[in-house]
Structure formats: C-alpha cells, structure tokens
Amino acid sequence: MASLALTLFDGGGLAPPVTLKEVALIDWKQVLHRGIDRNNLPKDAQILNYQPSVWEQFRLLILAGLSVIVAQAMSIAAIVFQNRRNRRLEDTVSTQRLELAHMSRRSQVSQLSGTLAHELTQPLTSILANAEAGRKIAGSSDPDLKELGEIFDDIVADNRRAANVIAELRSMMRKGTVSVDEIDLNEAVRSTVALVNAEMVARRTQIAMTLSAEPLPVKANMVQLQQVLLNLILNASDAMAELSPKQRKVEIATRLDDNGARQLTVSDAGPGIAPEQMTEVFKPFVSTKENGLGLGLAICRSLVEARGGKLVFDGGVTRGARAIVTLPPG
C-alpha cells in the first residue's frame, strides 16, 4: 500500500482494475440426483463430474453401424424381392411350358388321327365278327363250347386293345398338373412304338428296337416321355420321306451309360443335320421342314431338361441323324 501511495504522489498512474467474471460451478451428480433439467442450467456454467452418454461418446460409430444395418436390410429386401420375382417367372415359364406341351400333343394326335381311327376300327370290327360267329355257333344244334370260349377270349382281347388305345389318346389330350412317377424307360419306348406302329406301317417305315436287358427306372411323366419319343420318331420318319421304303428305318435303343444315367437314342437314315444346325434346331420357330412350326424339338428339350436330363443330336454320326436323350436315374 505504501509503495502504491508513493507512486501516486510521484505522479505515476495505476493499472486499470481487473474485473473477474463470475462462473457458476455445478456438480453434474447433483443435477442428476435432484432431477434438474439440463436446459435450465446457465449456458456458461462449468459442469463438474460430467459423464458423457454413450451416444455422445460413440455417436460416429453408432451412425456407421446403423448405416451398415440399413444397407444390409435393404440388400436382404432386394434379394427377397428378386427371389419372389424369379419364383413368379419360373411359375410363368412352367405354365407356358405345359401349355406348349399340350398344344404339341394335340398337334401330334391330329397327325395320328387316321392311324388312331384304324387302331380303333380294327378291334371293333374283330369284336363284331367274333360276336356274330359266336351267335351262329350258339344257335346250332350242337355248339362247340371250346370254340365259343376262344371267341369270347378274342372279344375280351380286342376290347382291351381298343380300351388301351382310347386311354392313351385321353392321356395325350389331358391338360393340367403333371405327376412325376418312377417309370421304366424301356416300357415307355414299347408303349410309344405300339401307339405309332400303325402310322409307321402307313408310311412304310420300319422301327427296330434294341432295348436294355435290365429295367431303366427314371423319374418322369409317362405322357411327356411318350410325347418326346413320339416327336423324335415322327421327325426321323419325315427325314427319310425321300428314300425308298426299303431304306426307311428308325432305330431306337436304350442303355445305361458309364455314369449310371439312362440313355435313349433315336436314329434315322436321312440326310442328317448340318453341324451348324445342331443347336439351332432346338430354338423355337426354327425348323428344317417346309411346313414345320419349329416348336416340337424346343418343347421336347424343355420337357427333358425339366426332369434334369439333356436332349442333343450326336455330331459324330456319319449318316442320318441320331437324337440322344439322357435322364438321371429314378
């Protein structure tokens, strides 16, 4: 104080007074304990013992994590949407395949209408002739019962033959869901050849079968398998239309390949298929026939692939064409 007084007496000046700003000190624990709203605290207050929240400490990490979760959720939603869309497309393709297969079968039945009529007329005519002969024998004074029994057996056999033809026709024309069963590939060949035999006789074309000695079970639909084989047989016959009847021969064979798959081949002696056309013939509306629609082989390949198999033409044959159908074991 004396020093300051002497300075004043000597004419010296004093430094301006220093004004200190008061700052409120607030204990954060007491704020939480008393339930005070943080918005009511002075803005310039100094808060002691403050513990930041998890959001304040890790806000950037939380935002990054939420972004990743949102991105994953959007990706999952997109995948689910795509799967549903693919499933709808598969259902649509399956329905279209069935529609085209049904149209193809109707076309094939139309081609075979004459032979089917013949197949029905023949047993019906035989039934009528046997019935008339049996009536005459029964009306005689001393009927031959043994001969009557043979006549009745013939009538039953012819009736079953006609019934089988009608059943095959109805199954070919049936439309709806497709059942998959375990069937013998050899039996499918035999039944199809029996169905088309009269047509081949009319076309003066031979059919030779070389079937596996053991059964070849496959998981397939009998009608669709018959449709594929019927289409291949008719195509082979059409390819040999310009040959003499002695040269027209369709060879059908079944075997078990080295991998355990079932293999069916249909060969002809026609002009064959050019190498550049081996894959083109399976495309829709591509046909080597003058009046063909180009749907038969496309539908056949679709039906075979639906059962996990393959349908191709052998590029190694030196004469004619050979179609190869490969199916997995049943």
Chain segment 100-109, per-residue pLDDT in tens: 566 666 665 5
Q: Are 47 and 28 in contact (CB under 8 A)?
A: yes
Residues in contact with 29: Cβ distance below 8 Å, sequence separation at least 6, in sequence order: 49
Q: Are 139 and 103 in contact (CB under 8 A)?
A: no
Determine the average pLDDT of the residues in 151-157.
85
Q: Would you give the DSSP letter of residue 27?
A: E
Q: Would you give the DSSP letter of residue 35?
A: T
Q: Are 231 and 297 in contact (CB under 8 A)?
A: yes
Written as six digits, the tokens of 75 are 């990706």
Q: Specify the length of the chain in residues.
A: 330
Taking phi over 0 as left and psi of -120 to 50 as alpha, with beta for the rest, 48 belongs to: beta
Residue 232 vs residue 201, higher pLDDT: 232
Written as six digits, the tokens of 119 are 């197949």
**25-27 and 46-48 strand pairing:** parallel
Model confidence at 244, pLDDT cuts 50, 70, 90, reads very high
Express each pLDDT in 258-303 by its tens digit: 888 999 999 999 998 888 887 788 776 555 555 555 667 877 888 8
- Confidence (pLDDT) at 215: 92
Angle 87-88-90 (CA atoms, 0-180°, nearest 5)? 65
- Confidence (pLDDT) at 117: 63
Query: What SS3 state is found at 63?
Result: helix
Secondary structure of the chain: what % helix, strand, coil (to 5)?
55, 15, 30
Residue 215 vs residue 53, higher pLDDT: 215
Q: Would you give the DSSP letter of residue 268?
A: -
Model confidence at 213, pLDDT cuts 50, 70, 90, reads very high
Residue ranges covered by each domain of the chain: 112-174, 183-330
Which CATH architecture fits 183-330? 2-Layer Sandwich (3.30)
- Confidence (pLDDT) at 14: 57
- Confidence (pLDDT) at 318: 84
Express each pLDDT in 159-170 by its tens digit: 877 777 666 666
Residue 22's nearest CA partner among 5, 45, 48 is 45
Written as six digits, the tokens of 177 are 């869901």
Whether the CA torsion 75, 78, 83, 84 is positive or negative: it is positive
Query: What SS3 state is found at 194?
Result: helix
Residue 230 vs residue 248, higher pLDDT: 248
d(CA 295, CA 139): 58
d(CA 123, CA 154): 10
Model confidence at 112, pLDDT cuts 50, 70, 90, reads low
